[in-house]
Amino acid sequence: MSQETALQLKGVTKYFGETAANDHVDLELKKGEILAVLGENGSGKTTLMNMISGIYFPDKGHIYVNGKEVSIGSPHDAFDLGIGMVHQHFKLINVMSALENIVLGMDPPEGGFSLQKARKSVMSLAHDYGFELDPNKKVYNMSVSEKQTVEIIKVLYRGADILILDEPTAVLTPQESDKLFNVLRSMKDHGHSIIIITHKLNEVLEISDRVTVLRKGKNAGTAATRDMTVDLLTEMMVGEKVDLDIWRTDPAEPRKRLKLKDLTVLNGEGLPALKDVSFEANSGEILGIAGISGSGQKELLETIAGLVSPESGAISFFSKDGDKEVDRKDVTLSFVPEDRLGMGLVASMNVPDNVMLRSYRDGKSRFVERKGPLETAKAIIKSLAVVIPDLSIRISSLSGGNVQKVLLGREISLSPDILLVAYPARGLDINSSFTIYNELNAQKQKGVCVICVIEDLDVLMQLTDRIVVLSGGKVSGIRDARTGTKEEIGLLMTSSEKKKAEGKDGK
């Protein structure tokens, strides 16, 4: 190979307690290439990258930057070596402006620090790479993709040659992802070396030059991307052949179960999060909710669940055969919220106690009835293949996939009529994701009305029956998932914003 090496890891190992998150991992990043690091959740991708960016310190192993061995003890060290990381959960200060976040923590330049000078150089940097940036905008007013832009500029402004992006597209629409990839290509042309962490296979094929696959904390192989296919990558990642098609059955005798009429809901700041939302949901079908993150999905589910009261509009529930309206209390409703450990489960309690949160009203004794929840917990663990060393450990020490299985299992154990699920497979590995999808399908077969917010359009198109698209808190379209196209949904997701922009230009 004629290309020089920008970054090399040899035998890097990191333990968390007894378990090795990374076990003797070797990795090589060449100058001016985009390397994809692929792996399931819990395969140690983020841990490995955190060691390169100075968040964690490796227990064993060597790191070389431009051929020289280095020790990276803090993020500051990493910056000095020209390494910058864009974390999956953005590391931005909410109450500060874009510019303040970008200059944060930097050594003062020669001739002293001035926010005016910094503004100039930040803006010219943004211009060079084709970013749109409002330097005075506060982070709390920003959309996810704007925050990501600030993170990337922050890293570039520190003069990073080696960029690490941890799941950058997880929160973006297809259009925003395309834009990001163009920026990455332009950075590559500027001579930067880039590592992109992802578990989306099509992205690996689209953007990377080479791909390194991690499996269970070990390097499972590196290959040139042009030699790879989706099937080959999956096999490397999971270690066995996996069927990638989601099982979808036809709707089971759909009957009207839930009706929203002109629902308007305000968010915490008193601004409308939902505007005149109307749709119906049927029993025996999976209704998907699509939209850019923050388009009102959270408020929609919370309003249906009764956690938020609407400003105006009505929610009506219908009986099993769909012909007469019934009271809310005659309908069993289950909710799997987005924030699993914050809202769904109590992180510091074990599985049976968490199950009990939904059944504490059962039983007649003055004392807590533990037997029932214990049985339910065991049943959940068995039916959803939850990996758990013993029942007494706290939920927070389970992996993300197992947490989600417990939460979904508990909600399903109530035999709901309506099941609300937010991001059912966010952050889950392939096997866990499919367990969840299958369970949702099984519920649909039982005649449950399933409403599901999903960010991954591929999954949404394959799993659901109908799709309600939200854009800026309004329903911008309802499509049949079997006949609609991904592009069509993607456009609906941004539709009203476009209209707004056009309206402005017209004036």
| Rounded-to-integer distance, Cα 101 and Cα 337, Å | 31
**Nearer to another protein by C-beta: 24 or 91?**
91
Token pair of 54, please?
A: 């100075």
138 contacts another protein (rule: CB under 8 A):
yes
- Nearest distance, CB of residue 288 and another protein, angstroms: 32
Chain residues 249-278 in contact with another protein, contact rule CB under 8 A: 268-269
**Quick one: which segment of 51-59, 198-206, 418-426, 453-461 binds another protein (CB under 8 A)?**
51-59
Residues 141-160 that bind another protein (CB under 8 A): 154, 158
Q: Which is nearer to another protein, 118 or 204 (CB)?
A: 118
- Residue ranges of alpha helices (H) inside 137-287 are 144-157, 174-189, 201-207, 230-238
Least distance from another protein to the Cβ atom of residue 89, Å: 9
Q: Which residue number, 72 or 467, has a Cβ lying nearer to another protein? A: 72
Toward another protein, which CB reaches closer, 87 or 210? 87
Q: DSSP letter for 340, please.
A: I
Helices (H), strands (E): how many in the chain? Answer: 15, 20
3-state secondary structure of 484: coil
| Residue in this structure with the two tokens 């923590």, named with its chain if needed | 105
Would you say 113 or 360 has its CB closer to another protein? 113
Using CB under 8 A as the binding rule, whether residue 137 contacts another protein is answered as no
Residue whose CB is less far from another protein, 115 or 385: 115
Choose one: 53-61, 161-169, 220-228, 235-243; the region binding another protein (CB under 8 A). Answer: 53-61
- Tell me: does residue 374 bind another protein (CB under 8 A): no
Q: Is residue 75 at the binding interface for another protein, with CB under 8 A as the rule?
A: yes
15, 31, 55, 369: which one contacts another protein (CB under 8 A)?
A: 55
Q: What is the 3-state secondary structure (H, E, C) of 105-140?
A: CCCCCCCCCCHHHHHHHHHHHHHHHCCCCCCCCEHH
Rg of the Cα atoms in the chain: 24
Of 106 and 478, CB closest to another protein: 106
Which residue of 104, 224, 230, 232 would you call a contact of another protein, by CB under 8 A?
A: 104
Whole-number Cα distances in Å, 257 to 262, 279, 322: 17, 11, 6
CB 104, min distance to another protein, A = 4
**Closer CB to another protein, residue 87 or residue 275?**
87
What is the Cα–Cα distance from 302 to 211, expressed in whole angstroms? 40
Region of 73-81, 301-309, 314-322, 401-409 interacting with another protein (CB under 8 A): 73-81
Helices (H), 314-383: 351-356, 371-383
Q: Does 108 bind another protein (CB under 8 A)?
A: yes
Residue holding tokens 């009957």? 255
Burial code (b: 16+ CB inside 10 Å, e: under 16) for 141-172 equals ebebbbbbbbbbbbbbbbebbbbbbbbbbbbb
Chain positions contacting another protein, by CB under 8 A: 16, 53, 55-57, 74-76, 79, 85, 87, 90-96, 100-101, 103-106, 108, 113, 138, 140, 154, 158, 268-269
